[in-house]
Amino acid sequence: MPSRVRFELPFRLSRPVLPEKNSGPIEVSGFSIHPDALPFWKKHLDKNGVRNSGIIERFGQQMIQFEDSAGIGIGVFGDAAQWIWHRAQSG
């Protein structure tokens, strides 16, 4: 199921604003995935030529960090607790 993040500003801009690396307080946007999916994402990123950190540990969780085409940092975290809670809520 695809997901999207939408940002809305309280004013109109005369031109589109593209994000720039290190231009704001957020350096990396993190997304939770099932821990077993980390090897899939590593392989997928490598196959598509996306430079990445490989599977590393950060904040006590395994993750992969990479950048989008604008240089904005993205991290996918293997979070088993998140998925256990989701299963309990939907089951």
Contact 77, 64 (CB under 8 A): no
Residues 32-91 pLDDT 10s: 899 999 999 999 999 999 999 999 998 788 999 999 887 788 999 998 776 665 555 665
Contact 37, 15 (CB under 8 A): no
Residues 56 and 66: their CA atoms lie apart, in Å, by 12
State which CATH number among 3.40.50.11890, 3.60.60.10, 3.10.180.10, 3.40.640.10 fits the domain covering 28-90: 3.10.180.10
Residue that is written with structure tokens 């690396």 in the block: 21
Residues 6-39 pLDDT 10s: 555 555 656 666 656 666 666 778 888 999 999 9
Contact 53, 45 (CB under 8 A): no
